Amino acid sequence: MAQALASRIADMLRQSANKLGTVDPVPSLGGLLNRTFVLPQGDPRYADNALTPGAAPFEPSSDLQSGQLRFNIQPLGPDASGIDRRDESTREMRRLVNTFFGREALRWFDERSEPWRGFGSGSNLNFGAFFGTGYDRNGLYNSKVYYESGPGQIESLPMSLFGLVSTAMSVMPKLRPLFTTISAQRDLGSERLTFAHPQALRIADLQPLLDALGLGYRMPGILQILGLVLGGRFDLPANATLIGVGQGQDGPEIEIYVLLGMIPDLPPNFLGLLTLGLSERPRELTALESWMSAFTPEDDVWPGRFSIISVRTSPAISARVSLYLRPVEFEVPSQAYRSANGQS
């Protein structure tokens, strides 16, 4: 019988933790990995997921400031329902928060998450929820759930976040709520809402939203990073953009996600352009190199395909970059994926 993919993912996480100098996450998350990645590596059924279509739903992301080991997964196997994934994410979140952060943090999470996990909130779910976590040298740093959300749920947001979300939707009426992220860290919690922008978008069209959030002066930094890594492109195709808004400790924050698979002419030297953009930020450049090395297999020279680049900013944070990775080992061959879906 073929070995479950969970074993290979656990090996990758142990190796990556060792290279990044973080605590190994497998002892605290092994059960979730085993319930999610039961099928063998390369099974075409993994490819049909909402997190990383075409690959197993395991997505590491970089943090170019703090050197964490961070990753997201779509919980449970390919046949699970959206409600199953929502409930599994909630159970794991509650277990980790209670174990590592204590009862007060658990109470906070229960209050914030109730509108998305309570009775009557599971109708018409698609992916249901994703689960994310981050570790540093001291152990669990944060844990989060991305709850699928619709327009009818925004009134359940905390008042401060509701105000930002309402502002965003009034300034950019084509925005569509996608998921609400509830995150618990050692010393604080946060919540944000992420929108999809289904239509094409010029990056400069974000200026009115940034102005409305009091972040208009951050636009030059955003344009500089995205324009550079996209090879001078300043317009994004339809369905290529997600926009997250939240209320941070220092005020409103915004994160722009570019889905790289939707960019038809992504420069082949994308990574070189990003490195050039970070040349004046040596700490971030070193962190990026360490992160890539941590996820590059021993018998390969490349960690995989980058799926997303995001730029986050707030009153206290200038444009901060993160990359999201589809590890080369967990890609599903396109021919196998087409065959599994009855395509020639």
Alpha helices in 21-158, H assignment, sequence order: 26-36, 82-96, 103-117
- Per-residue pLDDT at 197 exceeds 60: yes
Distance (Å) of CA 101 to CA 18, 184, 233:
24, 8, 43
Tens of pLDDT along 40-97? 999 999 999 999 999 999 999 997 766 789 999 999 999 999 999 999 999 999 999 9
Q: Whole-prediction pTM value?
A: 0.93
Instruction: Give the list of residues 6+ apart from residue 293 with CB closer than 8 angstroms, or none.
Output: 19
| Pairwise CA distance, residues 287 & 163, whole Å | 35
What residues does 291 pair with on adjacent strands? none
Tens of pLDDT along 304-334? 889 999 999 999 888 889 999 999 889 887 6
Q: What is the pLDDT of residue 152?
A: 85
pLDDT grade for 299, boundaries at 50, 70 and 90 = low
| Pairwise CA distance, residues 158 & 146, whole Å | 16
Q: What is the pLDDT of residue 344?
A: 45
Q: What is the pLDDT of residue 107?
A: 96
Structure tokens at 237: 């195709």
Closest CA to 312 of 203, 212, 221: 221
